[in-house]
Structure 1
């Protein structure tokens, strides 16, 4: 991530907005009290919020430095693994819920995003929920990502992609700058 992007993602303002508005909106109907996997926690802003929800929380972060930061910041409240969301290091049917927030656009290609969706479905128990949020393309979003990986997910095409990964009951809701999704195995 570029310097501006890193600054935003580590800011108190970002954490306040995520904890107060965004995550409650995204997770309104998402069970967070069982075995929960977060893919791509980044700096851990969303992980801190999830850790307060009562579930047994596991996180997978591809960047070793970011994974170490989440591990150091949350201690034994979360089981942090360094790994790729498109190749999860867990057995089939390990989690009740899988979530990812504002990270799909950092996955380098649509094919790798699809593999991440398939992996989320694989590690979910039957009836489990895969949910998340990502940004929609706009000028501000593009400017924040100058020099970053930015593979924008089209929310209109997401239901077909999630269905192809083996998920059902797919819901996608959009607002001007973002979209949330929810699907079940």
Structure 2
């Protein structure tokens, strides 16, 4: 199989999401939400696979790009919205993808509101795949700014998910951690966690 053939199949899908795909986590009939979709790089495989896909982003230009990149998807499936107020019924999605979004929370209340909305629109038994900045592995290299936000060695300011915070979310929403907690240290500049949770 050539590099171009692989790219046609998976595009620029996040490597840890690709791991879930290869493990058979997703069925063709599963309804998928990319929450904070940006240009939709993580929807590529699901569109190719025939899944009913939806995407939200608070940036109107990103939503326009989604519609342009995936003309086969009904335009009404791509919506301008923030994660703290998702325009969907409860228990609507089989699986949710949320990559590199939650660390833009303003404070713990904002984070909790976004997280709660993800769980609200997820079906019981469904999963949410999260990639988010964390303090694990780089805590001693950061400057605390208050309200859960830190100045990172890479020069950015982020809200960081801590392991105690994740444990509280799991307990509050009665979730199951499906995969071992993983955190990748990027040259001591930032650390990104990969988390897969199932709704009870």
Matches within 5 A, 1:77-96: 77=73, 79-96=77-94
Residue matched to 1:19: 13
Three-state SS of the structure 1 residue aligned to 2:71 is helix
How many angstroms apart in 1 are the aligned matches of 2:110 and 2:25?
Answer: 24
Aligned length: 168
**Contact 2:17 2:129 survives alignment (8 Å):** no
Higher relative CO (Cα under 8 Å, sequence separation at least 6) belongs to 1
1:135-173 per-residue CA deviation (whole Å, 9 max, x = no partner) reads: 33557x936564xx6212224531212332x24112432
Aligned-residue CA RMSD (Å): 2.9
Q: Which runs of 5+ in 2 are unaligned?
A: 1-6, 142-150, 186-190
Give the CA deviation at 1:62. 0.9
The structure richer in helix per residue is 1
Q: Which has the larger radius of gyration?
A: 2
**Greater mean deviation of Cα atoms: 104-113 or 120-129:** 104-113
Three-state SS of the structure 1 residue aligned to 2:26 is coil
Residue matched to 1:150: 158
Match of 1:69 among 32, 42, 65: 65
Residue matched to 2:144: none
Give the CA deviation at 1:97. 0.8
* Segments ≥4 residues shifted beyond 6 Å: none
| 1:169 paired to 2:167 | no
Give the CA deviation at 1:29. 5.8
TM-score (norm 2): 0.70
| 1:129 paired to 2:123 | no
